[in-house]
Amino acid sequence: MARITLQALAHSYRAAPTKPADYAVQEATHIWDNGGAYALLGPSGCGKTTLLNIISGLVNPTRGRVLFDERDVTGLPTESRNIAQVFQFPVIYDTMTVRENLAFPLKNRRMPAALIDSRVAEIARLLDLTPHLNRKARRLTADSKQKISLGRGLVRPDVSAILFDEPLTVIDPHLKWELRSKLKEIHRKLDVTMIYVTHDQTEALTFADKVIVMSEGAVVQTGTPEDLFDRPAHTFVGHFIGSPGMNFLPCVIEGSRAIVSGHVVQLPQTYPVVRGSKVELGIRPDFVQLVPAGHGIPVRVERIDDLGRTRIARVSLPQGDQVAATIPLGATVDSNAAAIAIDPSRVNIYVDGFRLTPEEGKI
């Protein structure tokens, strides 16, 4: 069981990195608590897999140290670290049965046969693999194979952290939910740190206690799913989390008044004075409603997306800024005379992309 500390860690795949753009992972320090469920979330190529491989020891960082509790493991090879990793594609040993697959890591560590049997039986029960124990592993479906991959990690009594590298990529959608709840269940039962890399926000938000959003090698925000939804630290997080992403409207801030497109939005909190920078008002589409003209900021309706549960209107402000707004249930839309109403309690203000902390009042 371990707390994982990444100390002033940076990594570059180039031999002689000079500028920040050379780094796949920008220098930063992170502390991940023992027993937590973390998700590393970001678009492809943002450095999340590199970060994961540094923790597992498959990649040696260019700079900085990796600590498990107080132990420096930076120079240790993968097999000497107390971690297990589940990969994007199920890794199973084709010629072995499920039982032999699960026993493999223990056999390699020369554990007594009786102990191996009991561990394998226990983990197989946990993963619902007991009926398949004597079948050839290659004959199982992709989700069962992925469970075997996970099982080979769980079966080791010394494992303190399990790393997942987009483990549900090849799993059928209807089984994804099942497998993900299985992961949650296992996380609750066993006191083990789980770090989960994904570019799928639904996976990250449903799996993790803490989500770490990455972009271009840097961590943009670490927080609970609620934090990321309600208070994105950066416009990137606002865009990336939520579907559709957060709206950002150019505005002027005067204390607790935000002026958008000539209309005043009265905010419940007061902001410090900012000058000369790009100031934007961020609001989730869920909290922007399309209303009849005269009840808000006038807009032109571009198109309407029916998402089944809700309808989203794509509208534009007179200056051309695009906004996504929710259409209230049962409302009829008059495309020629529409406006948007912003819920002031859900507004965040961004200066040059970063969230501005209000002086008083709170969300």
Q: Which residues make up the interface to other proteins (CB under 8 A)?
A: 56, 58, 77-79, 83-85, 87-96, 104-105, 108-109, 136, 138-141, 145, 149, 152-153
The nearest distance, CB 207 to other proteins, in angstroms, is 21
Nearer to other proteins, 87 or 177 (CB): 87
Sheet holding 348-351, edge to edge: 247-250, 279-283, 348-351, 354-355
Nearer to other proteins, 55 or 249 (CB): 55
The nearest distance, CB 96 to other proteins, in angstroms, is 7
Integer Cα distance of 207 and 193 in angstroms: 12
Nearer to other proteins, 75 or 255 (CB): 75
Nearer to other proteins, 80 or 357 (CB): 80
The nearest distance, CB 154 to other proteins, in angstroms, is 12
Nearer to other proteins, 136 or 239 (CB): 136
Q: Where are the alpha helices (DSSP H) in the chain?
A: 48-56, 98-108, 113-126, 142-154, 173-189, 201-207, 225-230, 235-240
The nearest distance, CB 127 to other proteins, in angstroms, is 17
Helix axes of 98-108 and 142-154: crossing angle, nearest 10 degrees: 30
The nearest distance, CB 150 to other proteins, in angstroms, is 11
**Residue 304 and residue 314 in contact, taking contact as beta carbons nearer than 8 Å:** yes
Nearer to other proteins, 153 or 282 (CB): 153
Cα–Cα distance list, 341 to 77, 302, 323 (Å)? 57, 17, 12
Buried b or exposed e, range 190-220, using 16+ CB within 10 angstroms: eebbbbbbbbebebbbbbbebbbbbbbbbbb
The nearest distance, CB 81 to other proteins, in angstroms, is 8
Cα–Cα distance list, 306 to 161, 224, 314, 329 (Å)? 42, 29, 11, 12
